[in-house]
Amino acid sequence: MSDHTYRVPTHPASAGQDSTYRAFTVTGRRQFTLVERERHEPSPGQVRIRIEACGICHTDVLAVEGLRPDPSAPIVPGHEIIGVIEALGDGVDPTWQVGDRVGVGFLGGQDTTCQACRRGDFVNCSDQPQTGTGIDGGYAEVTYARATGLVRIPPGLDPLAGAPLLCAGLTMYNALISASARPGSLVAVQGIGGLGHLGIQYARALGHRVVAIARGTAKATLAAELGAHDYIDSTQTDPGVALRQLGGAAVIVATAASGASMSPLLPGLGRRGELIVVGAAPDPIQVATGDLIFGEHVVRGSLTGTAIENEDNLHFVLDHGIRSRNEVFPLSEAPKAYQHMINGDARFRVVLDPTT
């Protein structure tokens, strides 16, 4: 069977059957299978969620491209999930009730007992499931999640519009608010894709002078529409030199999945500036020691955030009119939707609608 096909079960599930639900599992590399599963009661500390929307994120490659420890084990990809609680497991905090609209992101909920959790570092919990990679995710009509990982969804947020904000949005939000840049600082966003088109909006809403960096001139108008004050075409000029000419960046958020494209950015930092890496790349970033020492520059990563930080993120989005530009596919076309994303054809995020 080819990498780009999927198998349909002999008796396809009906979305109207309360006892069963449809899900796409994946094994090997891109071997999608549409399956029918029985609903079961959630385990202690878990809830069962009827999914209303699930975004398709580039991190889904870990599951779909066979980059897990055991690619032969079926897994349901997807970690940008919005849905409604339909069952509660034993021990779930009573603040969560059946009927609540909730979200689940990549980090599936801290255990509250490991050393990191005991020190309040919930993002780095050593026993935190990775939704859609280590445990089943959202390419389905139903999923199960730890209550500690639940995000309360504000009433004004439409699920199909909001699903990508639970990962892509949170990634950009936390990267920017964790930086030491004050409002009015020069902030650069490298890449105008699924992450970058949100990053420009967040940076502008935070009061920064925003510079968008991309290849070619095709996205210059879009960058301005999203809120960028300046645009750098990295094919025509060295982005580090261009940023220095603008005064040096307090923060550069690198979203492109290329270490080689990030390497020239570091000389563009201003005094005590930070290069924050959120785009996972297969190749390394090359850093000259002098570019770190002189100006006391920092290179660091940023990993999404906690459930409560995600709630802060969603309220910020609604308050400031930040919008993810999404293309919506029915759940039945999940393999096609994933291919659309991985080919780079999405403008700019892809969302699955399990109700169609």
Whichever domain contains 177, its CATH number is 3.40.50.720
The closest alpha carbon to 167, from 351, 31, 18, belongs to 351
Same structural domain, 271 and 142: no
Residue 80's φ and ψ, nearest 5 degrees, are -115, 75
Same structural domain, 316 and 287: no
Same structural domain, 37 and 139: yes
Report helix, strand or coil for 254. strand
Report helix, strand or coil for 194. coil
Same structural domain, 242 and 310: no
Residue 72's φ and ψ, nearest 5 degrees, are -80, -15
**128 close to 109: Cβ distance less than 8 angstroms:** yes
Q: Give a yes or no: residue 210 inside a domain.
A: yes
d(C-alpha 305, C-alpha 123), whole Å: 6
Q: What b-and-e string marks burial along 229-267, b requiring 16 or more CB atoms within 10 Å of the CB?
A: bbbbbbeeeebbebbeebebbbbbbbbbbbbebbbbbbb
Domain boundary among 278, 301, 324: 301
Q: What is the CATH number of the domain that holds 65?
A: 3.90.180.10
Same structural domain, 35 and 158: yes
Q: Report the pLDDT value the prediction gives residue 18, as an integer from 0 to 100.
A: 78
Report helix, strand or coil for 335. helix
Same structural domain, 181 and 75: no
What stretches in the chain show pLDDT beneath 50?
1-17
Q: Give a yes or no: residue 278 inside a domain.
A: yes
Q: Report the pLDDT value the prediction gives residue 12, as an integer from 0 to 100.
A: 37
124 alpha-carbon distance from chain centroid? 17
Residue with tokens 């105008």: 192
Q: pTM of the prediction?
A: 0.93
Report helix, strand or coil for 50. strand
Same structural domain, 52 and 195: no
d(C-alpha 164, C-alpha 167), whole Å: 6
Same structural domain, 135 and 147: yes
What digits encode the pLDDT tens for the residues 50-106?
A: 999 999 999 999 999 999 999 999 999 999 999 999 999 999 999 999 999 999 999
The closest alpha carbon to 335, from 75, 10, 32, belongs to 32
Same structural domain, 337 and 265: no
Domain boundary among 282, 301, 320: 301
Provide the domain limits for residue 238: 169-301
Report helix, strand or coil for 240. helix
Domain boundary among 301, 327, 344: 301
Same structural domain, 125 and 59: yes
The CA distances from residue 54 to 72, 142, 143, 296, 305, in Å, are: 23, 11, 11, 41, 18
Same structural domain, 21 and 153: yes
Number of domains forming the structure of the chain: 2
**50 close to 86: Cβ distance less than 8 angstroms:** yes
Same structural domain, 283 and 310: no
d(C-alpha 141, C-alpha 76), whole Å: 11
Q: Give a yes or no: residue 1 inside a domain.
A: no
